[in-house]
Chain A
Amino acid sequence: MLSLKEKDRPIIRKLLAAGCCARCVLRFCCMGTSSSYKQSYEDIQKELLEFIGEENSQQSHDASGHTEDPPNKRIKMEDAISTDDSVASEEPKTDLDICPVCLGVLQDFCNQTFVKQVSDAVKKEQYVLESLVLTVSLPAQLSVREQSCWLHVKQEVRDKSMCLGKDDVIQVKDAFKWAIQGKIGQELGAAVLASSPFEVGVGFAHPQTEEDCHFLATTCPDCFKPTKNKASIFTRMAVVKALEKISDENFKRRYPCPPKKPSSKCTALDTTCLHTSVFTAGRYNKYSRELPQTPWVIDGERRMDGSVEELIAAPLLSSFRADGFNFSSSGREDVDVRTLGTGRPFAVELLNPHRVKFNKTEIKKLQETINQSSDKIRVRDLQIVTREATSRMKEGEEEKTKSYSALIWTEKAVSNTDLEFLENMKNLKIAQKTPLRVLHRRPLAVRQRVIHSISTTYLDTHHFTLKLCTQAGTYIKEFVHGDFGRTKPNLCDLMKTDADILELDVESVDIDWPPAIPD
């Protein structure tokens, strides 16, 4: 039952006479009960007419001589027809009877047929769903028509209650959602939740009335500046902004009130589905000196096969059935550097995943799949995390320590005792100019870094292993060869010989995230 008030009568009468659909009538009566919009179109219409009819019969008894037109003959005829068979046709309108305010959105797209059409489109994508939220995109000109209709009944709506204004009119968007989203949820077996991570998007277009907006370009040229990415300057946002600026009188002069009836209804755009990203995290080892962390492309050409991120992401993409991914990690290593020890923390954002729930065993199995796919990398501690948690990976990156092991060549022959002084160096402060090898993409600066401790293993007269524990962000290769003297002091300075780094391994990245997962 619709809870219509006495003061709704003039509004209803005026709107029906203007050809408005039943749900738009409810909207302008500021009917805030969502269940009202769920009723079949026919039932709402019937109730409205009965409500008006009551008044009419009252009026006919009334001898006051009130001579307003009865609410138009066509409606009466329809009423007569529809009462005959309410089951056969849920939407008993011809194409000539399109609502001039919602352009049919609340008439022809709130029925079971459309629910089925949207649900089938979602089902085709094979999401594993628990809940959903509906988003609606409407043609921009609906705002113009809404304004026109508002001006048409403004006085009557204000008479209903002192405090009602345009904002109290229920928006087409909300009415549409109230009417249909519960049914879509039912059809898909998913709860409807405003906070759902899964969005079903429906949209409508009505090319025939696009010109409705054009007069606004002359009243508010500032609102319609051409932008690069938009096909039309008449975006919904711009139209709404222009409508806020135009005076009622000016609007009425330039646009008919109530709006003119269209000869066709809106067309529904393709249903879109989008699940918010899911984040996974873990730690990886890299055992190859010929594997970049991310695809290595120079001048549009790929330089090396494979990459850490692709090896990790491929099994994730297929299990989560995601459309794409973003890989991030706590620092990165060069192509020729291995990452050993407990590995480097990483996170993978999975875009539009079609499946998001995995239990611990399934995640464990997924980790095994990654590890079996290649012997160049190994992943541990794989887990699903929140978006917020991934920021802990980057937090305090600078303060953390990293341990390295490097194979060093010296020009001068050295003995075991020549290396001893290095072991005694604690918290050695060095100044590094941005290395030449990254200077093309990073600002030029001098950064102070600390090498907390050094240890060595003598190999032969020209080679030894150098182990360093450093502040994160220290460039190790440059500390060894000096980078044209741009890192000071460097190993060449300390040892008073030319020296070079032949191999480098990351031994540990001391960040306690993500948490370890016991086997």
Chain B
Amino acid sequence: MEDRKTPSVIDRYFTRWYRTDLKGKAREDHCILQHSNRICVITLAESHPILQNGRKIKNINYQISDGCSRLKNKVSGKSKRGGQFLTEFAPLCRITCTDEKEYTIFSCIRGRLLEVNEAILDRPELLLEKPSTEGYIAVILPKFEESKSITEGLLTREQYEEVHSKRTNQQEPSLVQLAL
């Protein structure tokens, strides 16, 4: 029997989509895992700054404004009534690293918020160690009629890898800033 397993759970059931440099912020890349049943899991892309240079997480905050906490999200029934409706640039949470840098994670797609990952509040290391599985950020259910169109503005895995490889040939943006 072969040692390496063939396709992982993500490979088998999900399509990977990406959004790079979110809100114009360099390398703040997000990954959207879309299940064949249209449900989407939002995660950090492996190139996200939080996952670089051995950064540590100081705090994860789902309270995105005074009046709105993603932790208060509740859905009921098969139709998931009551879930917060998110647009593409709705913030999901803010993550502060030990170097005091703060990052906002965005919804990336339109849809109803089903759940956020509360496990990373107690164990932020999950986010660093398993960013694409146990360290996920949120689960979103796009509208049935939008399940195809929501991915229109997103990058495919190939396009993302292309962006990624072009970058490695360039300088780190922070260094560019220093030079100015």
Chain A interfacial positions (CB closer than 8 Å to B):
409, 411, 433, 436-444, 459-463, 481-482, 484-485, 500, 502
Which A residues are CB-close (under 8 A) to B78? 441-443
CA distance A438 to B38 in the complex (A): 11
CA distance A459 to B1 in the complex (A): 9
Is A500 a contact partner of B8 (Cβ separation < 8 A)? Answer: yes
Which B residues are CB-close (under 8 A) to A463? 1
- Of A442, A459, A460, A485, the residue contacting B133 (CB under 8 A) is A485
A-B CB contacts (within 8 Å), total count: 60
Q: Given contacts A439-B139, A484-B41, A484-B136, are A409 and B5 in contact (CB under 8 A)?
A: yes
Q: Given contacts A436-B139, A439-B139, A459-B1, are A482 and B134 in contact (CB under 8 A)?
A: yes
Q: Is the interface of A mostly helix, strand, loop or mixed?
A: loop
Q: Does B97 lie at the interface of the complex (its beta carbon under 8 Å from any beta carbon of A)?
A: no
- Of A442, A443, A485, the residue contacting B119 (CB under 8 A) is A485
Q: Which of B29-71 contact A (CB under 8 A)?
A: 35, 37-39, 41
CA distance A437 to B39 in the complex (A): 8
Shortest C-beta distance, A493 to chain B (Å), equals: 10
Q: Given contacts A439-B39, A484-B41, are A461 and B8 in contact (CB under 8 A)?
A: no
Q: Given contacts A444-B75, A482-B134, A484-B133, are A436 and B8 in contact (CB under 8 A)?
A: no
Q: Can you name 14 A-B pairs with beta carbons within 8 Å?
A: A436-B37, A436-B39, A436-B139, A439-B37, A439-B139, A439-B141, A440-B35, A440-B37, A440-B141, A444-B114, A482-B133, A485-B136, A500-B8, A502-B5
Is B37 a contact partner of A485 (Cβ separation < 8 A)? Answer: no
- Of B5, B77, B114, B136, the residue contacting A439 (CB under 8 A) is B114
Q: Is the interface of B mostly helix, strand, loop or mixed?
A: loop
Is A460 a contact partner of B35 (Cβ separation < 8 A)? Answer: no
Is A461 a contact partner of B39 (Cβ separation < 8 A)? Answer: no
CA distance A485 to B38 in the complex (A): 20
CA distance A205 to B53 in the complex (A): 84
A-contact 0/1 string along B119-141, CB 8 Å cutoff: 10000001000100110100101
A-contact 0/1 string along B97-127, CB 8 Å cutoff: 0000000000000000011010100000010
A-contact 0/1 string along B69-99, CB 8 Å cutoff: 0000001111010000000000000000000
Which B residues are CB-close (under 8 A) to A409? 5
Is B37 a contact partner of A500 (Cβ separation < 8 A)? Answer: no
Q: How many residues of B contact A (CB 8 A)?
A: 27
Interface centre among A459, A485, A500 (most CB of B within 10 A): A485
- Of A440, A443, A462, the residue contacting B39 (CB under 8 A) is A440
Is A444 a contact partner of B115 (Cβ separation < 8 A)? Answer: yes
Shortest C-beta distance, A487 to chain B (Å), equals: 11
CA distance A485 to B5 in the complex (A): 20
- Of A411, A442, A500, the residue contacting B9 (CB under 8 A) is A500
Shortest C-beta distance, B85 to chain A (Å), equals: 16
- Of A433, A437, A485, A502, the residue contacting B134 (CB under 8 A) is A485
CA distance A459 to B13 in the complex (A): 26
CA distance A459 to B119 in the complex (A): 34
Nearest residue, chain A, Cβ from B148: A299
Shortest C-beta distance, A354 to chain B (Å), equals: 38
CA distance A181 to B37 in the complex (A): 55
Shortest C-beta distance, A503 to chain B (Å), equals: 12
Which A residues are CB-close (under 8 A) to B126? 485
Which A residues are CB-close (under 8 A) to B136? 484-485
Q: Does B3 lie at the interface of the complex (its beta carbon under 8 Å from any beta carbon of A)?
A: yes
CA distance A485 to B130 in the complex (A): 10
Which A residues are CB-close (under 8 A) to B76? 443
Is A484 a contact partner of B35 (Cβ separation < 8 A)? Answer: no
Shortest C-beta distance, A395 to chain B (Å), equals: 23
Which B residues are CB-close (under 8 A) to A442? 78
Is B1 a contact partner of A460 (Cβ separation < 8 A)? Answer: yes
CA distance A440 to B142 in the complex (A): 10
- Of B8, B38, B117, the residue contacting A440 (CB under 8 A) is B38
CA distance A440 to B114 in the complex (A): 10
